[in-house]
Amino acid sequence: MRGVIALGEEVRKMADKNLKLEVSRLHKLEGTGSTKAFCDLSVLDSLVIKGLRVVEGEKGLFVSMPREEGKDGKWYNTIIPLKREIKDEIERLVLEAYGG
């Protein structure tokens, strides 16, 4: 069973209003593969999410969340933004840092 961190109501409100996201590392890849870069994202200057990827898809560049392979051989995201606004902001920041 995975642990859950319960944040106090005040901390939750602060995080919602002042969520500070920053690309802390971006490593561009050479070659013709669909993965163009790996990225780490700092959250509230307190947490780093490692393993985001910039991917070239059929409709252009997008950001893929970190993932791991399950016992069934399928890949599953390990980080899932719960709000569309957060997902959009992460994608905007990462693609801006990538230069795309």
Domain 20-98: CATH architecture, name and number where available: 2-Layer Sandwich (3.30)
pTM, 2 dp: 0.77
pLDDT recorded at residue 9: 56
Positions in the chain short of pLDDT 70 = 1-18, 100
**Domain extent listing, the chain:** 20-98
pLDDT recorded at residue 8: 52
Within its chain, how far is the Cα of 71 from the centroid? 23
Q: Note whether 51 and 66 are within 8 A (CB).
A: yes
pLDDT recorded at residue 1: 44
Q: Note whether 45 and 34 are within 8 A (CB).
A: no
Q: Tokens for 45, please give them.
A: 């200057």
Q: Note whether 7 and 13 are within 8 A (CB).
A: no
